[in-house]
Structure 1
Amino acid sequence: MRAFLRLLLFLVICIGLVFIACFVSRTGWFNGLFQPSLTATNNTEVKIEEIVPADGLHPVVADYTEKLIEEAGAIGISILITDGYRTPEEQDRLYQKGRDQNGRIVTNAKGGQSYHNFGLAIDFALLDEDGEPLWDIAYDGNKNGEPDWFEVAELAKELGFEWGGDWANFTDYPHLQMTFGYSIEELQHAQIEFEESELP
C-alpha cells in the first residue's frame, strides 16, 4: 500500500512539474524574474546633453518603441513605425503640406519646433491582416470590441509616452513622444549653444 502511495505521489509531482513547465513556457514568466523591465520614462533621467545634438531616435525612445511593438503584438495588434527622427529640413517640408502644397495640414511645427527633430518622437500606424498599413482609428483587428488604435495608445502611455490623440488644440493620433521634461524652447536653446560651441 505504501509503495502504491509513493508511486501516486511521484506521478502527481511529475504532472505538476509538467504543468508548471508549460505555464512558464507559454507566459515567459520565468524570464521576467531575471530580465530587468523598462521603467516608465517619467522616472528616467536624461540629460539634455544626451539629446542635443540629435542625429537619430534617442536610445531610450528606441528601446520603448520596441517594447511597444512587442506589447501590442502580445494582444494581437501589429503596428508599423512610420516616422521617427526628422531633420529640420524634413520638418519644414512636412509643414508645407496643406499650406503651399496639396493635401491636408499634418503638422503645426516648423523645422526645429518638433520633438521629432530631437529624436524624441515617433509616429505609428496599424497593420491589417495583409500587412498593409492603415490609419483607421476604429479598426478592431484583434476582434476584442475595442479599437486597436486606442489600445496601442494606452499601452504607449503606460510605457511613458505622451500621445498626440490627447491634445486639444491639434489632435495627432499617430504621434507619440517622450520629452523627459524638456520643452521645445529648452531643446532649441541647447541646440544653439551646441552650434555656437562648434564655431572656430
Structure 2
Amino acid sequence: MNKLKKDILAWITVIIFIVIIFVLYNRLEDQYMDLGEDAPIPIELHPLVEEKKDILLEQASNLDIEVVIIEKTRSIRRQNELYAQGRSKQGDIVTYARGGESYHNYGLAIDYTLQDENGEMIWDTQYDGNGNGESDWFEVAELAKNLGFEWGGDWNNFKDYPHLQMDFGLSINQLKRGLRPSYEENKE
C-alpha cells in the first residue's frame, strides 16, 4: 500500500508539473503577442513591416535601384488563386502556400520587383541597373535582411526571389490561431 501511494503521488506531481509548464508557456506567448480567437485577418501591412518597407525603398533608391512593391497583404481568396496557378489553372507555380498559410495573409510579407529607367519591370535576378557589378536583386535582398526581413531567395526548397517577410517568431499555425505580433514590443 505504501508503494502504491508513492506511485500515485509521483504521477500527480508529474501531471501538476506538466500543467504548470503549459500554463507558463501560454502566458509567455500571450505576453509578447496580441491574442484573440477571433483576431481578424489584417487588411494592411503590420506597422513595423510598413515602416521597414519604406526604409528599404529609400535605401535602394540611394543605390540607384528602383524597387516596386508588387504585393502586400493578400486575402485568403487571392492566396488560393495563386496556389491554383500551375496546378488547376494555367501558369507556373508561384507559391506552395494555400490561403491562410502565407505571411502575406497576415500583413507580414511583401513581394518586390525592380524597374528600369524606362519603367519596365525587371525579373532577371542578375540585372545590374546601377552598374556597380552586383545583382540589384541581391543588393535589395541584403538591404532587406539588414532591416530584419527574411528573404525567400535564401529558402532551400523553393526560391521565392521577390518575397520578403517578417514573422516576429510566429509560425503560420500560431497566426491561424489568432496570435498577432504587437507593434510596440517589436519596434527597435
TM bracket, shorter-chain basis = 0.7 to 0.9
Structure 1 match to 2:103: 115
TM-score (norm 1): 0.70
Separation of aligned partners in 2, 1:154 and 1:147: 11
Amino acid corresponding to residue 65 of structure 1 in structure 2: K
Task: State whether structure 2 residue 58 is matched by structure 1 residue 66.
Answer: no
Pick aligned residue for 2:45 from 57, 70, 95:
57
1:36-77, Cα deviation, whole Å (9 max, x unpaired): xxxxxxxxx962449x42121111101100000000000110
Separation of aligned partners in 2, 1:149 and 1:132: 15
Give 5+ residue unaligned stretches, structure 1: 1-44, 192-200
Separation of aligned partners in 2, 1:75 and 1:94: 32
Decide which structure has the larger Cα Rg and report it: 1
Give 5+ residue unaligned stretches, structure 2: 1-30, 180-188
Task: State whether structure 2 residue 65 is matched by structure 1 residue 77.
Answer: yes
Q: Highest relative contact order (Cα 8 Å, sep 6+), 1 or 2?
A: 2
TM-score (norm 2): 0.75
Q: How many Å apart are 1:134 and its aligned residue?
A: 1.4
1:18-46, Cα deviation, whole Å (9 max, x unpaired): xxxxxxxxxxxxxxxxxxxxxxxxxxx96
Pick aligned residue for 1:96 from 69, 78, 84:
84
Identical columns (%): 54
Pick aligned residue for 2:153 from 165, 178, 185:
165
Separation of aligned partners in 1, 2:33 and 2:67: 30
Corresponding residue pairs, total: 146
Q: How many Å apart are 1:137 and its aligned residue?
A: 0.3
Contact kept in structure 2, 1:48 and 1:187, CA below 8 Å: no
